[in-house]
Chains A and B, each alone.
Chain A
Amino acid sequence: MNLALMGAIEQGLLFGILALGVYLTFRILNVPDLTVDGSFALGGAVAAKLIIGGSNPFLATAVAFVVGCLAGAFTGVLHTKGKVNALLAGILTMIALYSVNLRIMGKANLPLLREETLLTYTKALGIPNLVISGVTLLTGVAIVFAVGVLILKLIIDWFLHTDLGLDLRATGDNPKMIRSFGVNTDSTTIIGLSLSNGLVAVSGAWLAQFQGFADVGMGIGMIVIGLASVIVGEVLFGSSSIFRVTLAVIGGSIVYRLVIALALQAGLDPSDLKLITALIVIVALTVPTFAKGIWKKQVVRTVKGGTDGA
């Protein structure tokens, strides 16, 4: 595999954390949350500022998580307590965060070139590239990333199977029912939005360290990339169980990056990328609907009458 595709896999894993965050709100809570664009850059900004200030990069990433959670909680409180429409609440937080991020960074771009970052630590591990019969399949960095993302994925799987996690899932599935069992859906919504944006901020912090700078504009379009990963992942790898769908979402993120890399290699201009992203999401959203329509018609023709589960 060539260098561009290797890079795409590394990025796909890194953005897989973003995708997991978006999955938590978009699928589990059934809330479209646009805070993501702001909280992604927030994570990058906070981590960069702390690392430049001499913080340990692990600590900086952890702080990014906490600050991302706060941003999500703010959207959650606006939406549940302030009764602001979920989309609008997210947009408001996102816009507010743009100014906050500039304040944190002090300028529009913070370089991390000579700083000690997660990437330095990763490289210091000295994990060799995975080479099979002369073809490099995974870089050492990608292997470390994969382990990190999988650990996060397993933590999310576990969380979604705890009592609290079940409540969160039921909040998105049937809020009336879960309220009748004594759960305050305002709280579960706020918790879900917090965790989601915490993960998104970690993804932003990780990207800033990986690419060597944080930029105030680095969050733009992240929600669409997250959605693309979730939807593409579900379509390609299935969503029958939590364990499977969280893996699928990471897979979707990698596939998305590979498609982008191939599009660039095919000679498309980088400025066309947002258009391509939108097209990928549109195709992934509409094709299954059309396909289902065709499939349903066939089923009706072949199997007359319905089946009854009773």
Chain B
Amino acid sequence: MLNIAGVHKVFNAGTVNEKIALNNVRLQVKSGEFITVIGSNGAGKSTLMNIISGGMLPDTGSISIDGKDVTRWGEHQRAGLIGRVFQDPMAGTAPNMTIEENLAIALARGEKRKLSFGVNNQKRELFREQLKLLDQGLENRLKTKVGFLSGGQRQALSLLMATFTEPKILLLDEHTAALDPKRAQLIVDLTEKIVERHKLTTIMVTHNMDQALNMGNRLLMLHDGGIILDIPDEKKRTMKPQDLLKAFETARGGETFSEDRFLLT
């Protein structure tokens, strides 16, 4: 489904601040895989997500999605294939537009925009049906401006908007990190429900080790711009956060894993 071959990305090349963000990264993702990605700050997680979404172009290497070479495609060109939810609950929705208008934009993902009404009764019916899945009562608030919703509700809506057109790849960029534990759990549950429902190929970055181990069916650990651990489903199921730290130390030849933001539980 997704094939990343020999991707290299350097920031500030040739200066004292030179930083190799991705170092010859190879990754093959099969259709229906749900990958969780962990790694310390500066490991290259965000760069990897941006390289996949088209927000950044790689210096060398190639990226193909569903057999199509998209290496040189811009973000808006790849958007037809990729759904994305950001960490910031404010980032995925337009606050001064209504819930139904936001959904209409999501529904038109990657299509040529026409001069017909963005929202009609037929679409409203679909939106209501989809919003019911979120269990937030939003199906009765189609004409509410999104800016009036809570962070958790906005993130739930972002998740729905990113997924209900069934993109080839879903990117989740620490999408629960900015929420309180209760709302974060709600979004985690919704994520699993929606990914399962549409069998979406998903890549999720997280700082929460428990999330990384409990969710999905493959785990990647990034360090210094490379993938240092690639743990398959069977092995992942038996692991605890401590095992993950040990695996890191083994892979790095004794270096201990240090990351303040990491949550062990």
The smallest C-beta distance from B258 to any residue of chain A, in angstroms, reads: 31
**In the complex, which residue of chain A has the Cβ closest to the Cβ of B152?**
A310
Number of A-B contacts (CB under 8 A): 97
Give 1 or 0 for each of B185-206: 1 = CB within 8 Å of chain A CB. Answer: 0000000000000000000000
A174 contacts the other chain (CB 8 A): yes
Cα–Cα, bound, A183→B86 (Å): 17
Cα–Cα, bound, A148→B165 (Å): 41
Which of the four size classes fits the interface of chain A? 20 to 34
In the complex, the answer to whether B153 meets A309 with C-beta atoms within 8 Å is yes
A178 contacts the other chain (CB 8 A): yes
A181 contacts the other chain (CB 8 A): yes
Chain A residues packing against B (C-beta within 8 Å): 159, 161-167, 169-170, 173-174, 176-185, 308-310
In the complex, the answer to whether B76 meets A184 with C-beta atoms within 8 Å is yes
Given known A-B contacts A173-B96, A309-B150, A181 and B114 have beta carbons under 8 A apart: no
The smallest C-beta distance from A167 to any residue of chain B, in angstroms, reads: 6
Which residues from A are CB-within-8-Å of B148? Answer: 309
In the complex, the answer to whether A177 meets B110 with C-beta atoms within 8 Å is no
In the complex, the answer to whether B76 meets A177 with C-beta atoms within 8 Å is no
In the complex, the answer to whether A164 meets B114 with C-beta atoms within 8 Å is yes
Given known A-B contacts A163-B113, A170-B94, A180 and B149 have beta carbons under 8 A apart: no
B163 contacts the other chain (CB 8 A): no
Known: A166-B101, A170-B102, A182-B110. 11 other contacts (CB 8 A): A162-B115, A162-B118, A163-B115, A163-B118, A164-B115, A167-B108, A173-B95, A174-B91, A180-B92, A183-B76, A310-B136
Which residues from B are CB-within-8-Å of A310? Answer: 136, 150, 152-153, 183
In the complex, the answer to whether A174 meets B93 with C-beta atoms within 8 Å is yes
Which residues from A are CB-within-8-Å of B77? Answer: 182
Which of B91, B114, B161 lies in contact with A163, CB distance below 8 A? B114
In the complex, the answer to whether A173 meets B97 with C-beta atoms within 8 Å is yes
In the complex, the answer to whether A166 meets B150 with C-beta atoms within 8 Å is no
In the complex, the answer to whether A165 meets B118 with C-beta atoms within 8 Å is yes
Cα–Cα, bound, A177→B29 (Å): 25
Chain B residues packing against A (C-beta within 8 Å): 53, 74-77, 79-80, 84, 86, 90-97, 101-102, 104-106, 108-111, 113-119, 136, 148-150, 152-153, 161-162, 183
The 7 lowest CB-CB distance pairs between A and B, nearest first, are A182-B79, A173-B94, A310-B150, A182-B110, A309-B150, A166-B118, A163-B113
**In the complex, which residue of chain A has the Cβ closest to the Cβ of B82?**
A180
Which residues from B are CB-within-8-Å of A185? Answer: 76
The smallest C-beta distance from A230 to any residue of chain B, in angstroms, reads: 15
Q: List 24 A-B contacts (CB under 8 A).
A: A159-B115, A162-B113, A163-B113, A163-B115, A163-B118, A166-B108, A169-B97, A170-B94, A173-B94, A174-B90, A174-B94, A179-B75, A179-B79, A180-B53, A180-B84, A180-B162, A181-B106, A182-B108, A183-B105, A183-B113, A308-B150, A309-B153, A310-B150, A310-B183
Cα–Cα, bound, A93→B160 (Å): 42
In the complex, the answer to whether A166 meets B53 with C-beta atoms within 8 Å is no
In the complex, the answer to whether A161 meets B117 with C-beta atoms within 8 Å is yes
The smallest C-beta distance from B231 to any residue of chain A, in angstroms, reads: 29
Which residues from A are CB-within-8-Å of B96? Answer: 169, 173
Cα–Cα, bound, A185→B161 (Å): 19
Cα–Cα, bound, A179→B92 (Å): 10
Which residues from A are CB-within-8-Å of B74? Answer: 184
In the complex, the answer to whether A181 meets B79 with C-beta atoms within 8 Å is yes
In the complex, the answer to whether B75 meets A166 with C-beta atoms within 8 Å is no
The smallest C-beta distance from B41 to any residue of chain A, in angstroms, reads: 22
The smallest C-beta distance from A88 to any residue of chain B, in angstroms, reads: 25
Which of A159, A163, A170 lies in contact with B97, CB distance below 8 A? A170
**In the complex, which residue of chain B has the Cβ closest to the Cβ of A169?**
B97
Which of A166, A170, A182 lies in contact with B76, CB distance below 8 A? A182
Which residues from B are CB-within-8-Å of A178? Answer: 94, 105
In the complex, the answer to whether B116 meets A162 with C-beta atoms within 8 Å is yes
In the complex, the answer to whether A161 meets B153 with C-beta atoms within 8 Å is no
In the complex, the answer to whether A180 meets B104 with C-beta atoms within 8 Å is no
